[in-house]
A and B are shown apart, each in its own frame.
Chain A
Amino acid sequence: DTGVSQNPRHKITKRGQNVTFRCDPISEHNRLYWYRQTLGQGPEFLTYFQNEAQLEKSRLLSDRFSAERPKGSFSTLEIQRTEQGDSAMYLCASSLVLSANTGELFFGEGSRLTVL
């Protein structure tokens, strides 16, 4: 299957620890998005890349959060000094730039973070 792959699927960590999530997009897709979703809420936009360039970051993305997409392929989202409020599902999505306007985002199954 060549869908969007996210790892790990679930991470439990203690407050103050750093965590990193990885996203492997659909191979021919040049746009990659990160969203965060909490229970009962819709996905909230965090950031997106076109190839290796990070084009937009939400103000939700504090300086404890950093995302990279080296070489325009996979992406990582790192959260430093985790807080309990960071507990959420972190969703990655990818798209082709030509179809981004149509909203055709292909989501992975998410990485669930639990901060104790």
Chain B
Amino acid sequence: QKEVEQDPGPLSVPEGAIVSLNCTYSNSAFQYFMWYRQYSRKGPELLMYTYSSGNKEDGRFTAQVDKSSKYISLFIRDSQPSDSATYLCAMSANAGKSTFGDGTTLTVKP
């Protein structure tokens, strides 16, 4: 079983919808939680990070971490066609390697 499991998708929503992307994990040592966005044939780019449990908001994006449930989420409000991409969750126990989920591909239809 993988350390990080991500809802596989794909996910297709109409423009303006609220999107929820989710990951679960098994390693209790993870304390840094990240979301990356990856467009086709490009490298991932960091969207949000959260340390330990809690919420973090940045514009239309909100990241939530529930360490007690080992569950993290990324919410996208007022989704736009330009948000269409693959979203990767990633986690780290300390400075060093990050462990990634397999990604959820999102399509936002105009």
Contacts and interface: CB of A to CB of B under 8 A. Distances in A.
A41 B102 contact: yes
Nearest to B2: A42
Nearest to A46: B97
A74 interface: no
B92 A107 contact: no
Interface stretch (B13-21, B45-53, B68-76, B77-85): B45-53
A85 interface: no
Given A101-B95, A103-B49, A40 B44 contact: no
A104 B19 CA distance: 23
A42 B88 contact: yes
Contacts of B101: 42
B46 A104 contact: yes
B45 A107 contact: yes
Nearest to B101: A42
Interface of B: 4, 6, 32-34, 41-46, 49, 51, 88, 90, 92, 94-103
14 contacts: A41-B103, A42-B101, A48-B97, A56-B97, A58-B97, A100-B96, A101-B94, A102-B32, A103-B46, A103-B92, A105-B98, A107-B45, A108-B43, A110-B41
